[in-house]
Structure 1
Amino acid sequence: MRRGLSFTIPNQYGQFLQVILSPIPLDQYRWKVVDEESYIVKDGQLDRLLFLDSTVIDGRQLNELITQQHYLIFVDIKAFHPNVSTEIETYEDFLRSTCEFALIVTDSQDVTIYCKDQQMLGSLYQNAILHGFEDIAYITSNNDSRTHLSCW
């Protein structure tokens, strides 16, 4: 069974979160941001943290933030429908939770996505191809080496 996908994005400034999340109806979820380190870019320089604290925001707020140019270093964003549930440490926690989607970025370019909706997962895969991301692969129970669903 497909758990998610992984791919590599360019290590540069951009609007990568907006691009990656474009197949997802952001407004349908509550988004939990945990301990990330990514920055808004202003006048070609890193300005301030993209997300000020670990927080829960709605889809409209998330969309406003990710439409700004940003630089990703570490990102841990999870989508919940309808309510945010407890901490998610492992894939098994993810399956038992109300979390529908997890996006993890490490080292500015390594993207891992877990998604319960197989149709949405297919759309995310096609979106990654469309935008020319590299090393695109489905994550399955046979090749999933991640022990924790976080960027740290």
Structure 2
Amino acid sequence: MRRGLRFTIPNQYGQFLKAILSPIPLDQYRWKVIDEESYIVKDGHLNRLLFSDSIVIDGRQFAELLTQHEHYLIFVDIKAFQSHMSSEIVTYEDFLHSTCEFALLVTDSQDVTIYCKDQEMLNSLYQNASWYGFEDVTYITRHNDSRTRLSCW
């Protein structure tokens, strides 16, 4: 069974979260951002944090934030929930037993890892990443999943 996917995005300013998440109906989820270090870009310079501290944001606000500004991603830990938030998600097993539907992790500005319970959505995300020309797009399975924590840190 496929757990998720991983790929590489360019290490530059852009709207990569918008691109990565374009197959997902953002407004149908509540988004939990944890320990994020990514910035809004203004006039070609890093301005302020994209998300202020660890927050929970509704889908409409989340979508607006991703489309209004160019950003620079360094570390991102975002999890999507349709219903109530689960307790802390540390491992893949925690993810499976939680109400979390989707986890997006960005490390070192370009390494993207996505975990997704919905196999149809996962296939759409894979095709989308390939369409955008992101590099090394690969499905994650139990055989090649070396991540021990579902965290960008």
Normalising by the smaller structure, the TM-score range is over 0.9
**In 2, Cα distance between equivalents of 1:65 and 1:5:** 24
**In 2, Cα distance between equivalents of 1:72 and 1:65:** 14
- Aligned-residue offset at 1:5: 0.0
- Aligned-residue offset at 1:132: 0.2
- Aligned-residue offset at 1:74: 0.1
TM-score by length of 2: 0.99
- Aligned-residue offset at 1:138: 0.1
* Structure 2 partner of 1:33: 33
Identity across the alignment (%): 80
Q: Give the 4+ runs in structure 1 shifted more than 6 A.
A: none
- Superposition RMSD in Å: 0.4
* Structure 1 partner of 2:71: 70
* Structure 1 partner of 2:104: 103
* Structure 1 partner of 2:54: 54
- Aligned-residue offset at 1:114: 0.0
Amino acid aligned to 2:91: T
TM-score by length of 1: 0.99
Count of paired positions: 152
* Structure 2 partner of 1:116: 117
Partner secondary structure for residue 127 of structure 1: helix
Q: Which runs of 5+ in 1 are unaligned?
A: none
**In 2, Cα distance between equivalents of 1:135 and 1:51:** 28
Partner secondary structure for residue 93 of structure 1: helix
